[in-house]
Structure 1
Amino acid sequence: MFYVPLRKTPAAAVSWLLLIAFLPVPGLFIFLAIGRTKTSTWRRDRFAAIAPDLHRLAAQLRQGIPAVGYTEQVAGLAEAIGHMPAVAGNSLELIADYEDLIRRLIADIDDANRSVHLLAYIFADDQAGTMVIDALARAAERGVSCRVLVDPVGSSRWFRRINQRLRASGVNVRASMPLAPVYRWTRRDLRNHRKLYLIDGRIGYVGSQNLVDPDFIKGIVNTEIMARVTGPAVASCEAVFASDWQIETQESLAEAIKVPESTGKSVLQIMPSGPDYGDEGYRSLLLSLLYMARHHVRIVTPYLIPDDAVLAAFKALNQRGVEVELVISTVGDHPIVRLAQSSYYQELAQAGVMLQVFAGGLLHAKTVTIDDHTAVIGSANLDIRSFVLNDEVSLIIYDRVSVQAVASVLDEFVSKTVPFNMERWQQRGAVLRLAANVARLASPVL
């Protein structure tokens, strides 16, 4: 049992030790199956083979590296994690209307003349997904090279039909982290959670929205935020897709990536994270940003499972007089995660965190703003899965004009929230208290 705690947080180590102590045989098998964050050897070898191409592209982008003031250390950390530097000369458009995002994406696909690369955690063949499938079919018919990566677990309800329809239309579609036989074994709980939609190497969409109807879960309507990017940062987006594509197919796309011309004044950085990029990449970024804050932190997350380091950072911010605001939702689509999340509310309130509850469905956006100088939009939640297990992608924004634009969208979200009612929460029944505390025991391994 001495092996279990290796390179794990104390809470995670204790959870695994308790499981193995009470259920020795099944507990040990579960740990061997999903208890370690390392990917398979074949995946690590393929990712290592891509590294030289990533370094060459990063060197090209670094020739125009901007000054980012006292956030330079954060930019350096993000580059160390994800290999791509911060770059100036971009244009950024924020899209928080679900249907508008689908319309804009389809219009861009219809204008494509060279390539369309889509990477989605959920891709369905419902109304929204079918519109994208039809646009891909039209592009493929025009001779546009269309490649699609879909997570087969996130899209399990639709993947077989999606695969058949896209292949029949001439689209090259692959499963990301497929549940393959032993010789290409991939853990079911290590998932590609990225949402990255790229057109002609000149337009990139980054954020939280999947290719599925907003109400694909009965009774829940999702609200999202996506960033539409043009300019040199799109080359970094293409590098992330090229890496994932080469791991799954051994087809190299990196040499064909061209750095687009400047289109604006936004200073942006793409940071992929996940087991291939080293442990806890997004967590390291988040902690660095938190400790940099001087006045105000706002975090929007649909799933909230903070570890001890994040909780300690919130407490330290409160002691320094920094206002911390967490925006969560009244509804959730994962009951156990929802219960575990609720066990942190009182501790967060005692740490001085202002909890705001979104009342308009599930606010699925994953966004952070730090004072008026840095913002993050992406696929990563504030939970252990995004810290350690999932492949994620984050768009880090450094110029004040763009950061203010993000803050304005979050202001609109906050206008639809109500303050968390701690007094009412403390009056909840004993059954709910027990269920939340039991779920919290599993939070380090969720």
Structure 2
Amino acid sequence: MAQTQGGEPGDGAAEVLDRPLPDGVRRRVVGIVSDGFGGLTVAELPTQLRQYARFTPTRRAKFAGNAMAAAVEADPLFRQRIAEKLREAQPELTGALDAGSPPPAADPLDVAAAAYVLRPAGWVKLVTAAGEEAQRADAERAGEESRAELERLRAELAAARGQVRTETERLRGELETAKKESESLHRKLRAALSDVKRGEAALRKARAEREAERAEAQVRLSAAESESRRLKARLGESEAALEASRKAAREGRSVEDMRIRLLLDTVLEASQGLRRELALPPVSVRPAETVDAVEPGRMTPKDIANRALSEDDPAIVDQLLALPQAHLVVDGYNVTKTGYPQMPLEKQRLRLLGQLAQLAAQTGAETTCVFDGAELAAPVLLAPPRGVRVLFSKPGVTADELIRRLVRAEPPGRPVIVVSTDREVADGVARAGARPVASAVLLKRFSRG
């Protein structure tokens, strides 16, 4: 039937397609050939297609598409056989094409592919129209895709511009920060370089000073070594001279001792003879008696009973009073106010004088007790005990000053013991050569008896 139609006058067998088969139509043609391929025997297949006889339609369309399209175009008999299979598979579509009125609702690509295989009259127009329709559809689809792509690209462009602006602002901020950091680093670098230069200058100066000090120390060391050698030489000379002196002294000591002893005996005998010749009386006036002061009045015997003793006394008082020609000077009120301040002044004086009299009798030392009389309206009636000199300072003169006068009146070298806790008095008499003793020490000595 295909051959008959293909050979009849006025059919489309003589029509020729003047352009390449559109891709969409070609794919549909390959599909039709692949579907009808299985209904043919191997002998009915063209030689170049027989190797694909056992392939599935899908696999056959994939691997033998070009060969099947070429066979349909070049082999009319094979095309007629495929057309018969197509009429069997799609009788309505093929019938409409044979009648020259393709169905309006059919896919133009299916219509063009069927017309290409069947080759009815006007099949070229159908294929061309289908190709153009496919191109328009492709163009519209491409346009839609292009518009969608354009919109997408525009959106991406806007987003990219926003990102670029954001990134630009961020980069500008980072650039400003980097510039500030760079300026700060430059300043720090300049400061560091200045510090390094100053440090290098200070180091050079220190090195120069150290070298100068080292040189000076070397000079001093050399001088010290020279001086040490000189001193060692002088020391050797001195030792030699000392040894010579010792030797000479050992040789002449006996003679000198004899001469000194002879001279001493001569002086002693001369002084004794002079004393006998002049008949000198014993010393009756003491230096303390030459000091201008007010002597107290005489006390009655009944006042002596008021004397009392106190606590133990350290041995230093006895040691000091045991010195030859010792003179004990007592700051009266200072001692009494230290030992028994609660008693009236009169009883304080009597008690102290009694204790001093006992001490004077025991030690035989010259004893002077000084009381402050600057504020007295009249002389105090008081009988000084045996062995104790009692003095009151004149108006306007303190007892401290009177004590200092007594110390200054003594000849240098005589042991003078001053009893007072007044630091000013103690320091003053110490500078004058006297020995200060605290009042508490004397009170402890009184208590020992």
TM-score by length of 1: 0.18
Identify the structure with the greater strand proportion.
Answer: 1
Identify the structure with the greater helix proportion.
Answer: 2
Please say which structure displays the higher CA radius of gyration. Answer: 2
Q: Which has the higher contact order (CA 8 A, sep 6+)?
A: 1
